[in-house]
A and B are shown apart, each in its own frame.
Chain A
Amino acid sequence: MTEVKAELVGSVWKVKTQPGAHVGEEDELLILESMKMEIPVTAPRAGTVREVRVKEGEVVKEGQVLVVLE
Chain B
Amino acid sequence: MPDEYESKVGELRARRKKNLAMGGEEKIAKQHERGKLTARERIDLLFDAGTFVELGLLAQNRDGSDTAPADGVVTGHGEVDGRQVWVIAYDFTVMAGSMGAVGEQFKAARVRELALRYRKPIVWLLDSAGARIQEASGSTFAGTGWLFAEQVYMSGVIPQVAAMLGPCAAGTAYIPGLADFVPMVKGTSSMALGGARLVKAATGEDVNDHDMGGSQVHCYESGVGDNEVENDAECIATVRRFLSYLPSSNLEPPPFEDIGDPADRLVAGLEKIVPVNQRAAYDVRKVIKAIFDAESWFEIKPTWAKNIVIGFARAGGHSVGVVANQPMQKGGALDSDSADKAARFIRMCDAFNVALVYLMDVPGFLVGSQVEKEGIIRHGAKMLYATSEATVPKVTVIMRKAYGAGYYVMCGKGYQPDTIVAWPFAEISVMGPEGAVNIIFNKQVEASENPEATRAQLIETIRAQINPYLAAGWAMIDDVIDPAETRRVIVTGIEQARGKKIDRPWRKHGNIPV
Q: Which residues of A contact B (CB under 8 A)?
A: 7-9, 34-40, 61-62
Contacts and interface: CB of A to CB of B under 8 A. Distances in A.
Given A8-B366, A9-B370, A38 B329 contact: no
B333 interface: yes
A38 B330 CA distance: 9
Contacts of A62: 370
B366 A37 contact: no
B370 A34 contact: no
Given A9-B366, A35-B363, A35-B366, 20 more contacts: A7-B329, A7-B330, A8-B330, A8-B333, A35-B331, A35-B364, A36-B279, A36-B331, A36-B363, A36-B434, A37-B278, A37-B331, A37-B332, A37-B333, A37-B363, A38-B280, A38-B281, A38-B331, A39-B331, A40-B328
Interface in B461-508: none
Q: 5 smallest A-B Cβ distances: which pairs?
A: A37-B331, A35-B363, A35-B333, A36-B432, A35-B331
Interface of B: 278-281, 327-333, 335, 363-364, 366, 368, 370, 432, 434-435
Question: Main secondary structure on chain A at its contact with chain B?
Answer: loop
A34 B364 CA distance: 11
Which of B329, B331, B333, B434 counts the most chain A CB atoms within 10 A?
B331
Contacts of A8: 330-331, 333, 335, 366
19 contacts: A8-B330, A8-B335, A8-B366, A9-B368, A9-B370, A34-B330, A34-B331, A34-B333, A35-B330, A35-B333, A35-B363, A35-B366, A36-B434, A36-B435, A37-B278, A37-B281, A37-B333, A39-B330, A61-B370
A37 B370 contact: no
A36 B327 CA distance: 11
A54 B267 CA distance: 41
A35 to B, nearest CB: 4
Contact of B327 (A7, A34, A37, A61): A37
B370 A40 contact: no
Contacts, number: 45
B305 to A, nearest CB: 11
Contacts of A9: 366, 368, 370
A39 B363 CA distance: 12
Nearest to A62: B370
Nearest to B328: A40
A5 to B, nearest CB: 13
Nearest to A61: B370
A20 B368 CA distance: 35
Nearest to B361: A37
Contacts of A36: 278-279, 331, 363, 432, 434-435
A37 B383 CA distance: 22
A37 B327 CA distance: 8
A46 to B, nearest CB: 19
A1 B370 CA distance: 27
A9 B373 CA distance: 14
Contacts of A61: 370
B174 to A, nearest CB: 30
A62 B435 CA distance: 21
Nearest to A7: B330
B279 A38 contact: yes
A37 B401 CA distance: 11
Contacts of B330: 7-8, 34-35, 39
Contacts of B335: 8
A44 B364 CA distance: 26
Given A7-B329, A7-B330, A8-B330, A37 B279 contact: yes
B201 to A, nearest CB: 32
Nearest to B279: A38
Contacts of A35: 330-331, 333, 363-364, 366
A8 to B, nearest CB: 5
Nearest to A37: B331
Contacts of B332: 37
A62 B368 CA distance: 11
